[in-house]
Amino acid sequence: REPVILQYQDLNRRFFFGPRYAGERDRTSGGSGFIIDGNRIITNAHVLGPRNPVRIEATMTDGRVLTVTGGLVDRMLDLAVLEVESQDLPVAPLGSSDDILVGEWAIAIGNPLDLGTTVSIGVISALDRDFQEPQGSYHYRDMIQTDAAIHHGNSGGPLVNALGEVIGINSFIYGGGGERGYDFGSIGIGFAIPIGAARRFLSEIETYGRVRLPWHGIVDLQDLTPRLAKYLELDNTDGALVAQIAVDSPVYMTDLARGDVILAINGETVRSADGAWGILTQMRVSETCTIDIFRRGSR
């Protein structure tokens, strides 16, 4: 199995607005990834940073440095696939998200703290973890939870089972105090994107040659305050208020209207605006969904 270490250098101009100076600096960052075929590597989108990096290099465990020649990113799913010049590289076998069991062994491979290729072992702690609120810029759903040690630099690396099959992509941890991130180190609560989501991402690229961005037409959703819920005759503040819809959009052609309260999407309860966005961002082009709404006192 051949994990890789990813590094990129961002040479774009960065301005620091303040009372004393404005300047620029080079920024180098890193992460992990794994090879899925002869010349492609998969990783997290956030490993590449919020902007397009100038140069990306992939370092193999044997010391070889591969130049990345291209790639595609799905920033909604926090996934990226990179193409490298070398051919016939050793490939990591992909497992199935449907076969994972809570309690089975889990092995995290990556480049934590820029130490080089590192392996940690644990178990699958839970499945189908959803986060109502975005973690940074991303909405994570159906995540795999593991207690295998994950640190900064593990992002994008493989989570494998006892057979060496990749079952997830290590993405983030919870630090002390319930905060997402790496400032507190690993406390045994790490999360990985299921390999099934990566398979759908790769299928989209292989079928259409690009990542198609879904569009539903809901422009703005708002949380319900107790006062607003009482005015709308709702028993609680669960749900998301539709504040704006784009004209001639898919939802514009339906019965959904400004002022409706979204209670559920595809049967899944919506508790906040972030929760609704999280469900919607996981949907792909051509998919349909059912939305339960509350309007003028009735569901």
**HEC-encoded secondary structure of 124-161:** EEEEEECCCCCECCECCCCEEEECCCCCCCCCCCEEEC
Whose tokens are 């082009």? That residue is 285
Bridge partners of 123? 105
Q: Which of 46, 139, 151, 216 is catalytic?
A: 46
Active site (annotated) includes residue 46:
yes
- One DSSP character per residue, 199-240 reads HHHHHHHHHHSS-PPP---EEEEEEPPHHHHHHTT-SSS-SE
Report which DSSP code applies to 18.
Answer: S
Is 155 noted as a catalytic residue in this protein?
A: yes
Could you tell me if 77 and 202 are in contact, meaning their C-beta atoms sit under 8 angstroms apart?
A: no
Question: In the structure encoding, which two tokens stand for residue 198, read together?
Answer: 């990566």
Catalytic residue among 32, 97, 120, 155: 155
Q: Please check the confidence at residue 15 and state whether its pLDDT lies above 60.
A: no
- Tokens representing residue 79 in the block: 């996934």
| Opening angle at CA 135, ends 15 and 2, nearest 5 | 90
Adjacent-strand bridge partners of 8: 29, 56
Verify whether residue 260 is a known catalytic residue. no
> Is residue 233 packed enough to be buried (19+ CB in 10 Å), middle (13-18) or exposed (0-12)?
exposed
Are 152 and 182 in contact by the 8 Å Cβ rule? The answer is yes
Q: What percent of the chain has pLDDT over 70?
A: 82
Answer yes or no: are the C-beta atoms of 79 and 193 closer than 8 Å.
Answer: yes
- Please tell me the pTM assigned to this model: 0.75
Lowest mean pLDDT among 48-52, 128-132, 272-276, 293-297: 48-52
Q: Is the pLDDT of residue 29 over 50?
A: yes
Confidence band of 11 (pLDDT split at 50, 70, 90): very low
Instruction: Give the pLDDT mean for 21-41.
Output: 70
Task: Give the residue carrying structure tokens 């299921």.
Answer: 194
pLDDT in tens, 197-253: 899 889 888 888 888 888 899 999 999 999 999 988 888 999 999 999 999 998 898
Per-residue model confidence as pLDDT tens digits over 143-199? 899 999 888 888 899 999 999 999 999 988 876 544 455 444 556 788 999 999 899
> In 3D, which of 110, 132, 107 has the Cα closest to residue 121?
107
Active-site entry in 10, 74, 78, 147 = 78
What pLDDT, on a 0 to 100 scale, did the predictor assign at position 169? Answer: 94
4 falls in which pLDDT band (50, 70, 90)? low
| Location of structure tokens 């099959």 | 165
Helix ranges (DSSP H) in the chain: 195-208, 226-231, 273-281
